[in-house]
Amino acid sequence: MKLQPAIVGTTILTIAAMFAPATSSSGVFGNRQGKVTYQKNGSEGTIGGKISFIGEPPQPKRIDGSADSQCEAGNELFTEDVIVKAGKLANTFVYVQSGDALDWYVFEAPATEVSLAHHGCQFGPRVIGMQIQQTLKIANEDATTHNTHFMPKNNADWNQSQPEGATPLMHKFAEPEVLIPVKCNQHPWEKAYVAVLSHPFFAVSSQNGAYEISGLPPGQYSLVAWHEKFGEQRAEVSIGVKEKKNLDFSFKGPGD
């Protein structure tokens, strides 16, 4: 898909501070390629901004859920692949694809769980990010049977069903992969996307198009903004010590 240039909200500055890793006095080392496990030191910066949509966005389409009476029992179902409000685009996955910190360090997986749920016969959230070996908790909150089927390229295929009231399922991914499609074999309109990374530098744009990636060590980085319908955009950015940088992206529909 043709890439569109990113709109950068502020001038990208020359890096204020870049530093190569040295042996940690605490002896903390990573287990991948001899890299050091990163320890926060107060120099970290933040990248944030807004994701805009230019033009007339496609309108949600009505979903026929009549094959499952429980899915028709609540509100009407509509497609959720494109959500635009006041010109701002939700569910855009923004992440650091490459850069200094990723070359030098490994990053421990958080102990906190990431949640994915079947709710109202839709997946929620639509797009999520997590780290390798972090736990994904999958819940069925509906009064019907659901199915969660991950369709990865780098990780093992995984396909599990959950009846009403079932205990949440737990799953981990061993390899980085952006992004893994998820579907429900019971309800083919249910879709989600899971990004698995080796680091914590990612975010998903909210309903107002905002995103923020924090805790980023000073350095030079390549960022990608991904949307399931509108493809990818890329930007180069440098982050200095404790710097807060604004980086905006804008997408257009295929005909715009």
Q: How far are the Cα atoms of 59, 121, 172 from residue 78, in angstroms, in the given order?
A: 10, 10, 30
Task: Compute the C-alpha angle 119/120/126, nearest 5°.
Answer: 55
Report the chain (256 residues): mean pLDDT per 10 consecutive residues. 43 35 36 79 97 94 92 86 96 96 93 97 97 98 96 95 96 96 96 97 98 97 97 96 97 78
Closest CA to 204 of 5, 7, 48: 48
Model confidence, pTM: 0.85
What is the rounded CA–CA span in Å between residue 183 and residue 192? 7
So what's the pLDDT on residue 254? 73
Per-residue confidence (pLDDT) for residue 30, from 0 to 100: 41
Per-residue pLDDT, 33: 61
Of 9, 1, 56, nearest to 249 (Cα)? 9
